[in-house]
Amino acid sequence: MNDNWGLTDKGFYRPTYTVLLNALEYKARELYGDGINLTVRSPLGVFLRILAWIWNILFACLEDVYNSRFVDTAVGTSLYHLGNAIGMQLLPEGKATGYISVTGTVGTVVPAGFLVATNGGLQYTVMSAVTIGESGTCLALIQAVETGPEYNTEAGTIQVIVNPSSVAGVTAITNGAEITGGRLKETDAEFRARYYKSVDYPGGVNADAIRAVLLNDVEGVSSAYVYENDTDAHDDTYNLPPHSLEAVVYGGLDEEIAKAIYSRRSGGVQTIGSVSVNVVTASKQQLAIRFSRPTPKKIWIKISKLKKNSSYAGDDTIREALVEYIGSSTAGGLEIGIDVIYIKLPGIVAAVSGVEDFDIDISTDGTTYGKSNVSIGYREKAITEESAVIIE
């Protein structure tokens, strides 16, 4: 028998069926002599072939168990469990969703199930009934009829009413923003690629590893970005001195953030930022670990000409939905550096039960309102609060 089968110092070696059968026949001749009959029709020959087949299955199972410990070789559930250990979840299949603007006769009810499509024939269905208001338009939440990335489409591409005779009062539809979220179930290869791209986590000492440990290990952190300069010159784009890094972190305690940065920072690389916390090393040295908090950029929202029906969920529900989307001084919402896109706000309000029609404007000073996007810098974060959502 071969002592190098199974787990060896070079990894796991799985013998083939032929190797196993040859070893069994060799042992049989050693025990019974070279004249023993081991042909395929002899009783002992049949027995050895059955035994080699069973052993082959056993070694295949052992090899699968061994491979399940490593991201490169694990498959299926074993691979997903490895991702769970660092906070990753398998992305399931999903249907694309978004909003369309419906134009037509005032008072026309657009029922749930109303079908619309792109010129290419991709169909979407209205998820809940809406009523065209006095402006002659209304927003409707739609979802693709099937899963898949092909249903993700650009703004202005959904313009076809599939059954125009079903609702006579609707004259036109279009999507003012992109329709997103459609995808197939993530494959093992895609999961592995995302694992290595998004984590670089256990033992990593680069900017991605620092961001991963901040998001995964520091309680209360909802958004974090890490910028680094590994050159000998000043980085004018991010205003970083040579060989430095800056973590911009939203949420979490200062002390826990500093410890997490130190645990993944490369030796000798200086940290910069507006917050400084002393961390005691294993050698009892105190090192100042610096990082930054994003500058809050407050957003005011004004909702006017609000039309509602008897199922209206209330002004507070609208305020809560908008604060949840944008974020507040204590809660998540949009991540650091993410712009406030105006076209996405009407859909949030329209999703509130009982809202039929409205007008919405946004502002950065509470005085001058408009319908333009709000640009957020890479060291800023958009926030709002219920008192900044004005409903007239």
State the Cα torsion 10-15-20-23 to the nearest 10°. -30
Quote the pLDDT of residue 198.
Answer: 59
Q: What is the pLDDT of residues 170-183, one digit of tens each?
A: 999 999 888 888 88
Question: What average pLDDT does this structure show over 212-223?
Answer: 83
Q: Given pLDDT bands bounded at 50, 70 and 90, which one contains residue 163?
A: confident
Is residue 237 helix, strand or coil? coil
Q: What is the pLDDT of residues 125-151, one digit of tens each?
A: 998 888 998 889 888 889 999 998 899
Quote the pLDDT of residue 50.
Answer: 96
pLDDT > 60? residue 290 = yes
Rg, Å, the chain Cα set: 31
Question: What average pLDDT does this structure show over 307-335?
Answer: 87
Q: Which residues pair with 211 in a beta bridge?
A: none
Lowest-pLDDT range, 13-17, 280-284, 345-349?
Answer: 280-284
Question: What average pLDDT does this structure show over 87-96?
Answer: 81
CA 163, chain centre distance (Å): 35
Q: Given pLDDT bands bounded at 50, 70 and 90, which one contains residue 87?
A: low
Total residues belonging to the chain: 392
Quote the pLDDT of residue 340.
Answer: 93
Rounded to the nearest integer, the mean pLDDT of the chain is 88
Q: Looking at per-residue confidence, does 95 or 195 come out higher?
A: 95
Q: Given pLDDT bands bounded at 50, 70 and 90, which one contains residue 269?
A: confident
Q: Which residue type is seen at 100?
A: I
- Alpha carbon distance 240, 229 (integer Å): 6
- Alpha carbon distance 40, 21 (integer Å): 12
E strands present in 2-93: 6-8, 11-13
Q: Which residues pair with 117 in a beta bridge?
A: 123, 160
- The bridge status of strand 158-161 relative to strand 389-391 is unpaired
- Alpha carbon distance 331, 353 (integer Å): 24
pLDDT > 90? residue 226 = yes
Q: Given pLDDT bands bounded at 50, 70 and 90, which one contains residue 168?
A: confident
Q: How large a percentage of the chain has pLDDT more than 70? A: 96
Q: Given pLDDT bands bounded at 50, 70 and 90, which one contains residue 220?
A: confident
CA 114, chain centre distance (Å): 30
Q: Given pLDDT bands bounded at 50, 70 and 90, which one contains residue 72?
A: confident
Neighbours of 185 (CB within 10 A): 11
Q: Given pLDDT bands bounded at 50, 70 and 90, which one contains residue 268?
A: confident
Q: Given pLDDT bands bounded at 50, 70 and 90, which one contains residue 24?
A: very high
Q: Looking at per-residue confidence, does 357 or 90 come out higher?
A: 357
pLDDT > 70? residue 78 = yes
Inter-residue contact 49 to 21 (CB < 8 Å): yes
Quote the pLDDT of residue 1.
Answer: 52
Q: Given pLDDT bands bounded at 50, 70 and 90, which one contains residue 185?
A: confident
pTM over 0.75: no
Q: Given pLDDT bands bounded at 50, 70 and 90, which one contains residue 197?
A: low
pLDDT > 90? residue 8 = no
Lowest-pLDDT range, 73-87, 131-145, 306-320?
Answer: 73-87
pLDDT > 70? residue 337 = yes
pLDDT > 80? residue 45 = yes
Question: What average pLDDT does this structure show over 207-229?
Answer: 85
Q: Looking at per-residue confidence, does 208 or 198 come out higher?
A: 208
pLDDT > 60? residue 202 = no
Q: Looking at per-residue confidence, does 332 or 62 come out higher?
A: 62
